[in-house]
Amino acid sequence: MTATPEASPTIVLVGHGMVGQRFLEALAERGLTATHRVVVLCEEPRPAYDRVRLTSYFSGRTVEDLSLTDAAFLAEHGIELHLGDPAEHVDRAARKVTARSGLVVGYDVLVLATGSSPFVPPVPHRDAEGCFVYRTVEDLLAIEEYARTGAAVGTVVGGGLLGLEAAGALKDLGLAPHIVEFAPRLMPLQVDEGGGAALLRTVEGMGLTVHTGVGTQEVLVGDDGAVTGMRLSDGSELATDMVVFSAGVRPRDQLARDCGLTVGERGGIAVDERCRTVADPHVFAIGECALAADGRVYGLVAPGYAQAETAAAAIADDEGKAFTGADPSTRLKLLGVEVASFGDAHGATADCLDVVYSDSRAGLYKKLVVGRDGTLLGGVLVGDAEAYGTLRALTGSVPPVPPETLVLPAGAGAPARLGPCALPDDAVVCSCHNVTKGTIRGAVTEHRCTTVPEVKKCTGAGTGCGSCVKVLGRLVEAELAASGVEADKGLCGCFSRTREELYELVLALRVTSYRDLLDRYGREGARGGDGCEVCKPAVGSIIASLAPAIGAGTHVLDGEQAALQDTNDHFLANLQRNGSYSVVPRIPGGEIAPEKLIVIGEIARDFGLYTKITGGQRIDMFGARVEHLPLIWARLVDAGFESGHAYGKSLRTVKSCVGRTWCRYGVQDSVRMAIDLELRYRGLRAPHKLKSAVSGCQRECAEARSKDFGVIATAGGWNLYVGGNGGATPRHADLLAQDLSDAELIRLVDRFLMFYIRTADRLERTSTWLERIPGGLDHVRDVVVHDSLGICKELESLMAAHVSHYRDEWAEAIADPEKLARFVSFVNAPGTPDPVVGFVPERDQVKPDLPLLRIGPRPSAETLEGSTRR
């Protein structure tokens, strides 16, 4: 782009956070970067990054992954970005800004996006060594570095959104986290008492210690001036090595105060509905530093984005776009727990009623606030926020179904759920960019968008926090169907057919090669190509699941199959955060002889592995270097172990209680049945991982109803449940058949699994598949139990072929020199270990040395001696 002449009017932006970057994008969208000189003064040493996902840095994402802009965008629009050079003085009379470096920039328009600063309670020793705030990347790097000095316990002051994020970060760093919250519950602004209780149970179950209803009175320090503990307001003392203050934020408005702009009594630069400061029409304020015309300072990104767009529109003389307030609704995942609140979440409206669903065992809490006339006023969701998009959009209207329908989880006896298609056209689907359902429909009908990415580009929906993308997809699909437009349901850009259709082709025509399938049935432009990361593992899984029936190689590392697999399958092990791998032998039913326990212990000791007993009744060993995997598995195979397939989209475990053999309540032998099922379905490749459990009585100790297929004993036999799911989106499994004999149970599970493998989409769990497939559970029951399609004999035959041809993948791998050759870090330096795989001691074991991986010096070319990473 040609540089803008110096005579062009100048826009100076102070601050380059998320809202500042959105403002720059809004300027570019309106063509203002072509007619104006745009100068950005940024305090931080790096361009805008995603502060909402800051904690994901501790889960393996890099600073570069968090970036929201790049040099190409800045260069294309001629934006002058000055990093590490904040504005220090504004001369409103001369319309000039002076930066810390001495740079002076004249402006025609000044936009303040200075954000907020962390609030640190005025307690003694709050600035001692070991005290931190949690706001920027630099804060995270400092916390990470201090944690490496031997800190074992970390305490977060504040149990709100950022406080829980900070506690999760300390947990990821290997510290024992404490949370101190002055309010009587966690997240007091977002959730009510019931939601706070559900969140507390879940958080404590993760090993975090929570102190509510107390404040911080003093930070305790040792003789060296470093943190040793905290004294709380109830007089108790808490030993800790680190304190992270995350007790809220305050608007950064000092620059505005110094130049005479009007600020609110409790902070924030006062602006009108166009985001102009009330004291100076040439100065705007947006984001967390702005006190909006409705008297609120908004601390969420969506209102900040709306303000950025409003300010850009006002500068472009588009006075039609005003900021009169914003929806404070929010959906987050904190410590792996989904939490959402919307509308009048606390029931402040007079004469309202609550509709509550609570399952403390599953960590679920859902409350809707409903007016006497049936109007949905707001709500709180903890543990399962799947319905957030629909519920938020319905707020302020009378839902077309009873409120209890909207809070009961799938499979819990509720009538059919209300989908997003029932929303009115003026319902806001994307709150980040204020995009309504009507706008999304218009993108499909008027702008001819046929895919979600096209609609996102056209409307901006789904490009903010991303919580509306699932609703967006369902709306696009429904609108295409209503418009008579045939949506492209192909697996990917290489195949126009669905995964189910490709499965049928592979089975009917005995296709044993991905290359053959692509060349014969791929899209015109894809034939003869190399395929993509979507279809290669999907087709590889189809061929693997049908291998015995179609005469294909049965090992995933045979020939072409090896190149189709996902990352974990390449080495028959799960890749971990620091580049090491886990070793997971199969322990059917959780039953193991003492001699095998001894072998696992000896291997873990000899190879320095971290060992953990999992919730799936297995023993996982973490920290294996890739070159050690064959050595470890040779010893395991010799001891009678086989692959647990923890790395594959296949059966993981069949969990069990002890059953009637030991338990006085048991009515069937659950351990024997769990072992029989696990040995029958081991190695079965599927669209997604499969989990199962067998409970010996109705007390359900094995948690069978949270599994893809679960079995519960009755006095008359076995009840079979299908389509359950734990994790972030829990779903209770549905009863498929009851009081089954052993043979009847196995026959129905055979049919169910093969029907799922045949008809599910790629990476689709049985829970999602059961809700998506036309007819749902009733259709599956008709096919699997009553053989309505006449395919049950074929399904049983396919399963029988799998069972009869099963071979342990690791036993075959260690016996094949060609397969063993792949287990090296560097293909041209087989004896060179990966230098970034490091460990540090923790609780008599080891843990990954993550700082070595992310911020430590990278190995030099001389260190690697020119080796090439596999």
> Contact at 8 Å (CB) between 214 and 233?
yes
pLDDT tens, position by position, 790-825: 999 999 999 999 999 999 999 999 999 988 888 887
Q: CA-CA distance, 585 to 636, in Å (whole number)?
A: 8
pLDDT of 790: 94
User: Beta 37-41 vs 79-82: how paired, if at all?
Assistant: parallel
> Which residues are bridge partners to 613 per DSSP?
619
pLDDT of 858: 37
Q: What number of other Cβ atoms are within 10 A of residue 759's Cβ? A: 19
pLDDT tens, position by position, 76-127: 999 999 999 999 999 999 999 999 999 999 999 999 999 999 999 999 999 9
Q: What is the largest CA-CA distance in the chain?
A: 89
pLDDT of 348: 77
> Which residues are bridge partners to 303 per DSSP?
none
Is residue 166 over pLDDT 70? Answer: yes
pLDDT tens, position by position, 601-616: 999 999 999 999 988 8
pLDDT tens, position by position, 520-567: 999 888 888 888 888 888 998 999 999 888 888 778 787 777 777 766
> Contact at 8 Å (CB) between 18 and 48?
yes
| The CATH number, out of the four listed (3.50.50.60, 3.40.50.300, 1.10.10.10, 3.90.700.10), of the domain defined by the range 120-247 | 3.50.50.60
Tokens of 712: 């519960």
Q: What is 297-366 written as a DSSP string?
A: ---SHHHHHHHHHHHHHHHTT-TT---------EEEEETTEEEEEEESTT--SSSEEEEEEEETTTTEEE
* Category of 269 on φ-ψ map: left (φ > 0), alpha (ψ -120 to 50) or beta: beta
**DSSP label at 128?**
S
Q: CA-CA distance, 805 to 548, in Å (whole number)?
A: 6
Average pLDDT over residues 165-173: 86
The percent of residues in the chain predicted with pLDDT above 90, rounded, is 50
651-807 and 10-117+251-315 share a CATH fold: no
Amino acid at 607: F
pLDDT of 334: 67
pLDDT tens, position by position, 670-726: 999 999 999 999 999 999 999 999 999 988 999 999 999 999 999 889 999 999 988
Average pLDDT over residues 261-269: 94
Average pLDDT over residues 375-390: 83
pLDDT of 622: 93
Average pLDDT over residues 176-191: 89
Q: Is 833 exposed, middle or buried (0-12, 13-18, 19+ CB in 10 A)?
A: middle
Q: CA-CA distance, 227 to 149, in Å (whole number)?
A: 13
| The CATH number, out of the four listed (1.10.287, 3.90.480, 3.40.50, 1.10.20), of the domain defined by the range 566-643+808-870 | 3.90.480
Model confidence at 60, pLDDT cuts 50, 70, 90, reads low
Average pLDDT over residues 128-154: 90
Q: Does domain 10-117+251-315 have CATH number 3.50.50.60?
A: yes
Within 544-678, strands assigned E span: 574-575, 581-583, 610-613, 619-624, 651-656
pLDDT tens, position by position, 316-326: 988 767 888 87
Tokens of 797: 């035959």
Closest CA to 378 of 442, 334, 327: 327
> Contact at 8 Å (CB) between 13 and 40?
yes
CATH code assigned to 651-807: 3.30.413.10
Most confident of 387-401, 611-625, 629-643: 629-643
Model confidence at 855, pLDDT cuts 50, 70, 90, reads very low
pTM score? 0.60
Domain spans, the chain = 10-117+251-315, 120-247, 499-565, 566-643+808-870, 651-807
> Contact at 8 Å (CB) between 711 and 697?
no
Mean pLDDT of the chain: 86
Is residue 208 over pLDDT 60? Answer: yes
pLDDT of 653: 93
pLDDT tens, position by position, 734-748: 999 999 999 999 999
Average pLDDT over residues 459-476: 75
Sheet holding 581-583, edge to edge: 574-575, 581-583, 619-624, 610-613
Average pLDDT over residues 363-386: 86
Is residue 212 over pLDDT 60? Answer: yes
Is residue 866 over pLDDT 50? Answer: no
